[in-house]
Amino acid sequence: MEKEQTLDGNETKHQRRPRYKGTHPKNFKEKYKELQPEQYADDVAKIIQKGNTPAGMHISICVNEILEILQIKPGQTGLDATLGYGGHTLEMAKRLAGQGWLYATDVDPIELPRTKERLERLGYGEEKVAIRQMNFSQIDQIVPEAGLFDFVLADLGVSSMQIDNPERGFSFKTEGPLDLRLNPESGFSAANRLQKMTVAELQYMLIENADEPHAEAIARAIVSNIKKGIKIATTAQLRDIIKEALKVVPKISEDEIKKSCQRSFQALRIDINNEFEVLDEFLAKLPDVLAKDGRVAILTFHSGEDRRVKKSFKQFLREGVYSEIAPDPIRASAQECHINSRARSAKLRWAIKA
């Protein structure tokens, strides 16, 4: 084994990087090629071509459709209300061609600095993209600095790098702490939230946030385990309780059980982060931050979000606040859905300020 010399003159054994286990390792931390796309561009490209999203990355959805809606011109001022991995932000900044200004917000203190660094490496530093750590419901707080916006984008989906990282606890597929917070520095984790919920509260949450058909059975199983003194602290624990609860349902398939797990985690995430309340506040403030003829595009990923966007847009259209809105949601193309399976549930709506 090779030896290296430290600054104090001592020799240390050189630690080789662990062997890359297969073309697509299962353990998140072992996917070092995917987690460093700038160093392993060819490997990452192959993973994307197979229709997978590399770990630690996020493939932006409906990019061309969004750019067509927003009609960005150099000299304008815009806002990406949900920065995430920065894919949409980058494409919008390119359309400004160094003229005008783009603001971007995100509540996630873990991913935001990584995205900021990534954009800076690509030549889009603070002088071109002003990034603020804040919830997008607070968009009115940027107006005194930025002025009214000519275009606004909100992608309401949870970023792939958040879902894929087991330490964030967003997915039932991998073992991790049951957290689910977009900002783990504030609020209560999902594990703590479950400890205080009744069967009725849990059942209502599962139906309201995810249209879960087996809400009562799942709620009863969760509360029953907690009453036995079991703290549901990990994603695997919650997943296993849901699976066990649904095994007694007549003729239920493994695929249906999997979907119930997915919906249950979605419902809990929405509850923990107050996502519907935050969205309602954002939609109410939108007209006051848009300039005349300003355009907004909103990408949703489940019916609860889409209903709220549709209702808000229609209300403001009737009141004459918006001059035009999308008659129907725009869906990702079949080709895009093949490349990125997470695009299948996406719905894109738009509105134009009167």
Using one digit for the tens of pLDDT, what is the confidence trace for 159-168? 777 778 888 8
Q: Do 87 and 144 share a domain, yes or no?
A: yes
Q: Do 291 and 321 share a domain, yes or no?
A: yes
Is residue 32 predicted with pLDDT exceeding 50?
no
Q: Do 85 and 213 share a domain, yes or no?
A: no
Q: Do 145 and 82 share a domain, yes or no?
A: yes
What confidence score (pLDDT) does residue 229 get?
93
| Continuous H helices in 37-80 | 41-49, 63-70
Is residue 45 predicted with pLDDT exceeding 80?
no
Pairing of strands 129-133, 11-13: unpaired
Domains identified in the chain, total number:
2
- From CA 279, how far away is CA 209, in angstroms rounded? 13
Closest CA to 267 of 330, 311, 213: 213
What confidence score (pLDDT) does residue 6 get?
45
Give the model's confidence band at 51: pLDDT under 50 very low, under 70 low, under 90 confident, else very high.
very low
Q: Do 154 and 303 share a domain, yes or no?
A: yes
Helices then strands, each counted (H, E), the chain:
15, 9
- From CA 297, how far away is CA 129, in angstroms rounded? 19
Question: Of 244, 272, 300, which closes a domain?
Answer: 272
pTM of the full predicted structure?
0.82
What confidence score (pLDDT) does residue 339 get?
84
Give the model's confidence band at 309: pLDDT under 50 very low, under 70 low, under 90 confident, else very high.
very high
* Domain that includes residue 332, residue range: 63-160+276-353
Look at residue 170 and tell me if it is in a domain.
no
Look at residue 11 and tell me if it is in a domain.
no
Give the pLDDT mean for 308-327.
98
What's the burial of 325, exposed, middle or buried (CB within 10 Å: 0-12/13-18/19+)? middle
Is residue 345 predicted with pLDDT exceeding 70?
yes
What confidence score (pLDDT) does residue 193 get?
94
CATH number at 290 reads 3.40.50.150
Look at residue 3 and tell me if it is in a domain.
no
Pairing of strands 347-353, 149-155: unpaired
CA pseudo-torsion sign 270, 88, 177, 43: positive
3-state secondary structure of 196: coil
- From CA 1, how far away is CA 79, in angstroms rounded? 52
The residue behind tokens 């286990």 is 21
The residue behind tokens 């799942």 is 218
